[in-house]
């Protein structure tokens, strides 16, 4: 009984850590895409 409760807690803990990690990676990925688009836009303005 205790072993099953412990595995349930560990499973939920790692599940939420994985979700938070994926959200942060997604935000970083999105910010890099926006930075590249702005860089390309600034190059086309100067030309």
1-47 pLDDT, tens digit each: 778 889 999 999 999 999 999 999 999 999 999 999 998 888 877 66
Please give the pLDDT value at position 27.
98
Range of the domain at 7: 1-47
- Give the Cα separation of 32 and 35 in Å (integer): 5
| pTM to 2 decimal places | 0.68
DSSP 32: H
Return the closest-CA partner of residue 5 out of 41, 28, 13: 13
H/E element, 2: helix 2-46
Q: How many domains does the chain have?
A: 1
């Amino acid at each position: 009984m205790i072993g099953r409760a412990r595995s349930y807690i560990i499973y939920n803990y790692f599940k939420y850590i994985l979700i938070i990690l994926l959200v942060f990676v997604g935000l970083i990925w999105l910010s890099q895409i926006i930075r590249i688009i702005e860089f390309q836009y600034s190059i086309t303005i100067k030309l």
